[in-house]
């Protein structure tokens, strides 16, 4: 379910109830994308072009499952758990596989041609997803119970891990320090 407020959070209205859980939001200009829990038939990606008043399903054909959305430039990326990474250059009207893989995938960050994804390990592509390498990380604790978030700011990558906290990398995830 997705709610919208037009008065700084004083009141809220339900604007999207076609999904049980909204896992991810991505915004580009007037476009709002919501990624939700998938069902047994499709991935649930919805697009609103009018501030959440109306929504259109933009599912990835034959792909289903929980997902996270990212926008980089004019490209929308969907990281779909157990399916891989997909991209769309036309607001979700069509999708292309970037990396099809059957494993747990949690999140993705993009900076130029570099893509870093949290899966069962950390994976890095330096050529827009054409090839992927497993990163042998230094500085992360050995007993991570869960990856919570992954974000990039300038040349730094930030990762939240449970229960240890927030970590920072200045070299595409090869080394991390607790902050």
Task: Write out the chain's pLDDT in tens, 179 residues.
Answer: 788 898 999 999 999 888 777 888 999 999 999 987 766 556 789 999 998 889 999 988 888 877 889 999 899 999 988 889 999 999 999 999 999 988 888 888 888 888 988 877 889 999 989 999 998 778 888 788 777 788 889 889 999 888 899 999 998 888 999 99
pLDDT at 39: 63
pLDDT at 131: 92
Beta bridge partners of 71: 76
Contact, 168 vs 160, CB < 8 A?
Answer: no
pLDDT at 167: 93
> CA-CA distance, 146 to 160, in Å (whole number)?
9
CA distances from 177 to 52, 108, 139, 144, 162 (A): 39, 19, 6, 14, 15
**Half-sphere exposure (CA, 13 Å, Cβ side) for 112?**
7
What DSSP designation does 64 have? Answer: -
pLDDT at 40: 57
CA 37-41-47 angle, 5° bins: 55
Q: Within 10 A of 79 (CB to CB), how many other CB atoms are there?
A: 25
pLDDT at 1: 76
> CA-CA distance, 22 to 119, in Å (whole number)?
20
């Amino acid at each position: 379910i997705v709610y919208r407020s037009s008065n700084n959070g004083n009141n809220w209205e339900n604007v999207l109830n076609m999904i049980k859980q909204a896992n991810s939001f991505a915004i580009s200009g007037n476009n709002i994308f919501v990624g939700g829990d998938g069902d047994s038939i499709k991935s649930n990606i919805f697009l609103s072009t009018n501030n959440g008043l109306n929504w259109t399903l933009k599912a990835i054909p034959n792909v289903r499952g929980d997902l996270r959305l990212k926008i980089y430039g004019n490209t929308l990326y969907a990281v779909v758990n157990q399916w891989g990474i997909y991209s769309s250059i036309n607001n979700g009207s069509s999708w292309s596989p970037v990396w099809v893989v059957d494993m747990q995938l949690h999140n993705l960050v993009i900076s130029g041609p570099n893509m870093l994804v949290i899966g069962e390990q950390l994976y890095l592509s330096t050529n827009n997803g054409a090839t992927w390498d497993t990163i042998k990380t230094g500085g992360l604790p050995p007993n991570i119970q869960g990856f919570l978030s992954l974000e990039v700011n300038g040349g730094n990558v930030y990762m939240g891990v449970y229960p240890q906290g927030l970590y920072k990398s200045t070299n595409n995830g090869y080394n991390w320090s607790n902050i």
